[in-house]
Amino acid sequence: MTLTIGGANSGQRYTCLAIIWLTIITMTTTTVVGGSDTMDSSQVSELSACINSDGQKRCDHLSYDCLNCRFNYSCEYGHNVTTECRPTDNVHCSGDNNFSVSHLCAFCYQLPEDRYECTTNSSCNYNYQYKAVCHARPHVLCLGKRSFQKYRKCNFVSGYKWSTALLLSVTLGGFGIDRFYLGLWQEGVGKLFSFGGLGVWTLIDVILIATGYLKPSDGSVYI
């Protein structure tokens, strides 16, 4: 079977060229951003937003995921330093392309918790730890990779209210209603048939819930 150069075959060649071009663009968007060697989905999304910017935003107001900065890794930890930055390639913005940013001398994983965001885990047990994927907030500049892994304490909520649990314990604790509310069914049954341990168990549970020591059975924290 002989293939011709023109006609449908030409359309196939254009399709192949388009696929190759899209592959090159995809590889380009996974380059280093803000000192990171690799990018997660949030970084790719942020970079895409930077590239698609209409150029009206000032360069010094861009998210730091959109910048290339010359860090001084010999700076003194915990002190404020000044770093020279510029937008990454293909990012359009207004104003001066070269500007200085004042920031804390610390690696991203060393930042205070309010300066980065992490994934959550609702299936872990209370007081256990899970490995979260964290990323520095858009307008927080830091050394090293902006995305990092960190062990975090498992503190998730599932709708249990501390005020409700305490109210039930004070008013209906003698019937084990507080334990039933928290999902502690076996203890609730025992408390019910013992009339709150003749009042002793009821008093103890009021103290335990008031101090936050007695928690829901699923390991969540109160809201």
Q: What is the pLDDT of residues 54-69, one digit of tens each?
A: 667 888 888 888 899 9
* Enclosing domain of residue 126: 31-153
* 20 lies in some domain: no
Q: Which residue type is seen at 4?
A: T
Whole-prediction pTM = 0.51
pLDDT (mean) for 150-166: 83
CA-CA distance, 202 to 208, in Å (whole number)?
A: 10
103-126 per-position pLDDT tens digit: 999 999 999 989 999 987 766 666
Residue 16 within a domain: no
124 and 57, same domain (yes or no): yes
Res. 53 pLDDT band, cuts 50 70 90: low
> What is the reported pLDDT for 167?
94
Question: Which of 42-56, 65-79, 114-128 has the least mean pLDDT?
Answer: 42-56
Mean pLDDT of 34-54: 52
In the chain, pLDDT over 70 holds for what percent of residues? 71
And the tokens for 21? 């071009």
Query: Are 194 and 94 in a shared domain?
Result: no
Torsion of CA 35, 40, 42, 45, to 10 degrees: 90
pLDDT for position 29: 35
Average pLDDT over residues 31-60: 56
Q: Kindly state whether residue 173 falls inside one of the protein's structural domains.
A: yes
Residues 39 and 106 reside in one and the same domain: yes
**125 vs 129: CA distance, rounded Å:** 8
**Is it the case that residue 14 has pLDDT exceeding 70?**
no
Q: What is the mean pLDDT of residues 37-58?
A: 58
Question: Do 118 and 74 lie in a common domain?
Answer: yes
The answer to whether the CB of 140 falls within 8 A of the CB of 115 is yes
Confidence at 25, pLDDT banded by 50, 70, 90: very low
Is residue 4 included in any domain, yes or no? no
Q: Are residues 167 and 205 in the same domain?
A: yes
148 phi and psi angles, rounded to 5 deg: -155, 165
- At residue 94, φ and ψ (nearest 5 deg) are -100, 160
**Is there a domain that residue 26 lies in?**
no
Confirm if 134 and 117 have CB atoms less than 8 A apart.
yes
Is pLDDT above 50 for 184? yes
What is the rounded average pLDDT of the residues 19-44? 44
Based on the structure, what is the number of domains in the chain?
2
The residue among 36 and 116 whose pLDDT is bigger is: 116
